[in-house]
Structure 1
Amino acid sequence: RAGIPLGVMKVLDPRQLKPDITETERILTVLDETIVKLEITRLIPRVIGSLERYARMLGPEITSSLLEHQKLSVEIQQLLASPGDEESRRAVEQHLKCSLRNILRLFLANPLLYHGLKYKVRVRESPADVFIRAFMEFRDFTLERLLTSPDEEKEKIHFMRDISLQVEKNVETISALQEELAAVIQTRDEELNRKDKMIEDLKTSMEDLAKDCKAEIQHIMEEGENQQKEDEKASKHRCARLKQEVQLLGARFNALVLEHRASELVLRKVKGR
């Protein structure tokens, strides 16, 4: 707040000021009393609905006035439901207004009672609350207008214009930063997408390579098994052929042995002669 002129501070925060003009005080008093009356009027139906609960707190005079007000309210409702006697209706309406003014007077004479009920009685949100808040805003606006001199008004306008220009500059700066941030985010997203695609391609390549390796190993194993079967078949065939040759050689050997023995026998016979 160091850079804000004192006059502007007073205008922007009128609650920090105390009216020092009689007319201003009178106007604010009327507005504040009106707000209190509105809040009391808002509480009256709820209090009447639970009168036994609040009777001790209210005291006999206010309790009696509220009972009378309740009777008048019922009577006016009956008259409105069956229109006919206009004079009676106007008379009851007048009595009802007087009753309400009397109740408000009694509550205003006892501020502690009013504030106690205000925080004790729970009332649902209603259009009356909207009107009361709007009236409070009107009261603050009126106070601001009453406490603002022409020079302060000019200073306020100048200050608000500067604030508006600063806000516009800030908005432009924020927009530029947002665009820059969006560009950075887009670049980052594109880079992430590129890397994701690269990873996906590598994953696919590795899966394909694994499949190819598996197929190649299967092919090699099948070829090995086929070669082993062929080798076993050839080996068996060779063994059979060798066995046959051995048998032939054995038979030939036996024949030669027999032939040799026969020759030897012949020679022995020749020598014996």
Structure 2
Amino acid sequence: MSTEVIVAPLYQGSEINTNNRLRLAMGPASKKALLSCTATNQMDPARTKLTTIETKRIISVLDETIRKIELVTLLSAAAYNPESLEGLLEDDIIKAVRDHEDFCNTLLELDNLVKEEEDELAESGDYRLQFLVDEHKHSLMLLKEEVKGSARNTLRIFLLNLQAGEILRTQVVGRSEEANIFLQALIEFRGFVFEKLLTSPMEEKEKNQFMEEISLQEKKDSDMIHDLEAELSSTMKSRDSEMEKENFVIQELKSHLHQVLKFSENHLLRTKQEAEKQQKAELRASQARITKIQQDILKLRNQYHSIIEENRDSEQALRKKKYKLETEIENWIQKYDTEMGEKQTEYEELDEIHTEEKAQLAELKEKHAVLVQEFVQIREERLITSKKKLEAEKELALMVRAATLIQAFWKGYLVRSMLKSKRKKKKGRGRGKK
């Protein structure tokens, strides 16, 4: 993982055409909406909730990752703007955030130094700088591991203190654009994984087949649109030529119309006289038709009353059937309410048990924290005792060695003094003999 991935994106402060017939039948917007609606209905999973523990664990891991990234990407902004958190977070938490930001700044400075040294090495060709560059690279790798550890420790503090994490998310503003893009990509990936987990293999196969059919249909539609556009252009050209011809014909017809108007006045008088004669004949015929229609109305009215009687009988039978169905539905509803009441009671009992176990867990955690503190204290006391014991053993060994040296020196002194006294006695005896 490069320095840019560790620091730069996540730790930057606030200072990531159809023809006329198709247009009349269906416009592009309506057609697109219809295809989108059909594709959505076909591609939506049949299930809306996860059923297996494994899938729920996958989604929970993704949610936890997104939550951690949200916190990590705000650490730099919190370090640059500590006044926004003063009085809201504890001093040790703010100190941990500042220490982590110091690690990140040191890492960036060291990375820039390594790049400058590499550029200088490439330009000058002096390979005596290679040792210095390698040493700085090694320091850079170690510093990266320290930054990772610092990020884990700081994140662990906020995860253990949920209130502090919530304050960091709500009070601190200044996440970088790259971090926002990364978070958005994670959220989209979570949605994609959630949809994939809801989709069964059969649904996936049907979805792929449906997408292939849609792509083929879209290709056919585009080809047809291209052909229709070519046909439309040719039709427009022929229509323009025809309009020119029709304009010429219209001019001729206007002159002819003027002559026809003069002729039509005489013809209109004759037509009016003939129309009056025809109106009288049709009036007599219409009176006969009215009489016949009145007779038909009486006949149809009788049929209407008989049909009403039949419909009343059928309506009564349907009402009885409806009452029977309503009674059955009400019985089913009562049965459902009873079963749901039992389930609700069982759920409340389980919830009480869960609450009690949760309280026991909190109590055990408190006891565990106390035991851990006592263990650390005992271990420190044992370490101090062992150090004192080791110092005492060293001092005893030194005293034993000193005593041994003194005894050896004293024994040597006694032996030399005895030897001297023996020599003196021998010398005295020799003189007496002489």
The answer to whether the Cα contact below 8 Å between 1:35 and 1:136 also exists between their aligned partners in 2 is yes
Structure 1 residues 100 and 5, CA gap change in structure 2 (3 angstroms): closer
RMSD: 4.0
Partner of 1:143: 194
Is 1:9 aligned to 2:44, yes or no? yes
Rounded Cα–Cα distance in structure 2 between residues aligned with 1:5 and 1:46: 41
The answer to whether the Cα contact below 8 Å between 1:40 and 1:114 also exists between their aligned partners in 2 is yes
Is 1:121 aligned to 2:167, yes or no? no
How far residue 172 of structure 1 moved from its aligned partner, in angstroms, is 3.1
Partner of 1:203: none
Secondary structure at the counterpart of residue 105 of structure 1: helix
Query: What does 1:93-242 correspond to in 2, within 5 Å?
Result: 93-108=144-159, 109-110=162-163, 112-117=166-171, 121-126=173-178, 128-183=179-234, 186=237
Which residue type is aligned with residue 76 of structure 2?
P
The answer to whether the Cα contact below 8 Å between 2:59 and 2:194 also exists between their aligned partners in 1 is yes
Structure 1 residues 88 and 153, CA gap change in structure 2 (3 angstroms): closer
Task: Note the alpha carbon deviations across 1:3-41, whole angstroms, 9 max, x for none.
Answer: 679774217xxxx83322111111112122222333333
How far residue 190 of structure 1 moved from its aligned partner, in angstroms, is 7.4
Structure 1 residues 184 and 19, CA gap change in structure 2 (3 angstroms): same
Task: Note the alpha carbon deviations across 1:193-214, whole angstroms, 9 max, x for none.
Answer: x8xxxxxxxxxxxxxxxxxxxx
Partner of 1:28: 59
Gaps of 5+ in 1: 195-273
Rounded Cα–Cα distance in structure 2 between residues aligned with 1:28 and 1:99: 27
Secondary structure at the counterpart of residue 18 of structure 1: coil
How far residue 59 of structure 1 moved from its aligned partner, in angstroms, is 4.7
> With structure 2 as the length reference, what TM-score do the two structures score?
0.35
Rounded Cα–Cα distance in structure 1 between residues aligned with 2:110 and 2:38: 64
Structure 1 residues 131 and 185, CA gap change in structure 2 (3 angstroms): farther
Larger deviation, residues 174-183 vs 29-38? 174-183
2:83 to 42, 48, 52: 52
Structure 1 residues 99 and 191, CA gap change in structure 2 (3 angstroms): farther
2:94 to 44, 53, 63: 63
Secondary structure at the counterpart of residue 10 of structure 1: coil
How far residue 184 of structure 1 moved from its aligned partner, in angstroms, is 5.1
Which residue type is aligned with residue 191 of structure 2?
D
The answer to whether the Cα contact below 8 Å between 1:43 and 1:123 also exists between their aligned partners in 2 is yes
The answer to whether the Cα contact below 8 Å between 1:7 and 1:152 also exists between their aligned partners in 2 is no
Sequence identity percentage: 33
How far residue 185 of structure 1 moved from its aligned partner, in angstroms, is 5.2
Which residue type is aligned with residue 164 of structure 1?
S
> With structure 1 as the length reference, what TM-score do the two structures score?
0.52
Rounded Cα–Cα distance in structure 2 between residues aligned with 1:131 and 1:78: 24
The answer to whether the Cα contact below 8 Å between 2:49 and 2:198 also exists between their aligned partners in 1 is no
The answer to whether the Cα contact below 8 Å between 2:70 and 2:169 also exists between their aligned partners in 1 is no
Which residue type is aligned with residue 125 of structure 1?
E
Structure 1 residues 159 and 68, CA gap change in structure 2 (3 angstroms): same
How many matched pairs? 188
Gaps of 5+ in 2: 1-35, 115-132, 245-434
Rounded Cα–Cα distance in structure 1 between residues aligned with 2:79 and 2:40: 51
How far residue 100 of structure 1 moved from its aligned partner, in angstroms, is 0.9
Rounded Cα–Cα distance in structure 1 between residues aligned with 2:143 and 2:56: 36
The answer to whether the Cα contact below 8 Å between 2:50 and 2:197 also exists between their aligned partners in 1 is no
Structure 1 residues 161 and 94, CA gap change in structure 2 (3 angstroms): closer
Partner of 2:72: 41
Structure 1 residues 38 and 183, CA gap change in structure 2 (3 angstroms): farther
Task: Note the alpha carbon deviations across 1:213-256, whole angstroms, 9 max, x for none.
Answer: xxxxxxxxxxxxxxxxxxxxxxxxxxxxxxxxxxxxxxxxxxxx
The answer to whether the Cα contact below 8 Å between 2:82 and 2:94 also exists between their aligned partners in 1 is yes
